[in-house]
Structure 1
């Protein structure tokens, strides 16, 4: 079994929880559990994701805290009020269109109604809101300042992998005359698209980064390569490479088999798709050559 290194999101989540616990020792928060739970939930792949989840959690905590406070004044731990309170909490979240906050609002409501014990209702509700808020702040700050991923360099790394994979598939298509497994190319393109999505989200909080149109165009070229390979797979008849595509393929593949049959003015559809793949690979290569990164700077999608 291949052992993988922990992802950055994994490590940052652990650090965030550690900070929550340390703050708990300083008695800045009343209940470390709520702060740690909020920190874990807020530790998303991007800073924007952390802020979005954090705000949703704060809104849910506020709604659940208010409703929990009101209902606990009537009868703490009541099964009937537990039911009515959950219905009320969900209903209010729907009214204010904060559906992403429903879960945490219900959790906070139950925490107040069922776990208050001998505590003061108002004080307990405020403490739960405060604990959660601190956890959210810690989660966002850790995600922003510690081990912040460089998605731009990861994109260039992924483009190089896709370029190499595409060349291998092209060479196999031409030399062996049979269709290679394209699933690994598709998975790499999916990974590239995820990196690019994260990169765009980070742009809002990274003034030193700029969105490069070439990257978006390169992703389109990757998709086109996969599409052309799919079309070639549907061709059942014997196809021949023309001289122009043979010369171009030989350049990017680092040489081809000498026993290939080269025929011009035949297999026009086949050669159209082969030529399109070659052109797209060359365009990806030009984008990749503009990148300048260190291997240690490249990240993997954290789990």
Structure 2
């Protein structure tokens, strides 16, 4: 008997994909208007800088911007002094790595190195162009791509990285509600590692809030979630101790941890009902 084939489901195109399309399209148009040698550098930069949050876009923009400047300067020095000697190029890479480490910009090494190699080998392979003009063109194209990506990401339906915060908060509260009973006899709780990982992710998003320049636009009551973070972490400590309790643990100690867990559970449920 033949099995009935399920209809193929096509994934929806997300907003980040649409904004990437817009950023790349604008990069092509503006590159043409500004008379850049090629739109490839502007479009590539816009593509990579379109991230899931404004701060991530800014961090990527910083890496590409600083990396492009460093790589451009090194390639300019190479092309002006010894463009015919390709065996100097590895020394340029070494210089880029050393400089980035010196100024504590290790994350910029890949971008700076790539820019240096592309420009330097472009000349060594016989491509003819004005050295200074080409390097300036390359650097400007990168910064135009950065501006386009950040502008599009910020003004066209800004991403909300804090939607996950509410989801995690609900999951952690449900976990405590299901596993913390009123009985004095404690039963070992399963799934504590998953709880710990969710708690860790919850903390990371709260820390991210303080860096995200777009956070105020999402009206997140961060103090509410910070209180919950403290309660979740305290609950984990109590559960961990009870889960790993030894036979000689006194009933009074066990009762102490259980009472604290019950109080945490009550506070969390009460606050979540108000919210």
What is the TM-score normalised by the length of structure 1? 0.72
* Change in 2 beyond 3 A, CA 1:270/1:40: farther
Could you say which residue in structure 1 is the equivalent of 2:187?
177
- CA distance in 1 between counterparts of 2:182 and 2:152 reads 46
Match of 1:125 in 2: 135
* CA distance 1:93–1:181, change in 2 (3 Å): closer
Taking a change above 3 Å as real, the CA distance of residues 208 and 269 of structure 1, as seen in their structure-2 partners, is: same
2:200 pairs with 184, 187, 190, which one?
Answer: 190
Equivalent residue runs for 1:1-303 within 5 Å: 12-24=19-31, 29-76=36-83, 78-116=85-123, 117-171=127-181, 177-202=187-212, 206=216, 209=219, 212-235=222-245, 237=247, 267-291=251-275
- Report if the CA contact (8 A) 2:72-2:135 is conserved: yes
Quote how far apart the aligned CAs of 1:108 are.
Answer: 1.0
**C-alpha RMSD of matched pairs (Å):** 3.4
- Unaligned stretches of 5+ residues in structure 1: 240-265, 292-303
Structure 1 contact 46–198 (Cα < 8 Å) conserved: no
Q: CA deviation at 1:205?
A: 6.1
- State which drifts further: 156-165 or 23-32: 23-32
Aligned length in residues:
264
Query: Please, which moves more after superposition, 37-46 or 67-76?
Result: 37-46
SS of residue matched to 2:97: helix
SS in 2 for 1:201: coil
SS in 2 for 1:179: coil
State the 1:236 CA deviation: 5.2
Does 65-74 or 87-96 show the bigger shift? 87-96
Q: Is the 8 A contact 1:93 1:101 kept in 2?
A: yes
**Quick one: distance in 2 between partners of 1:178 and 1:94?**
49
> 1:300 is matched with which residue?
none
Q: Distance in 2 between matches of 1:69 and 1:95?
A: 20
Query: 2:15 & 2:272 partners in 1: Cα distance?
Result: 25
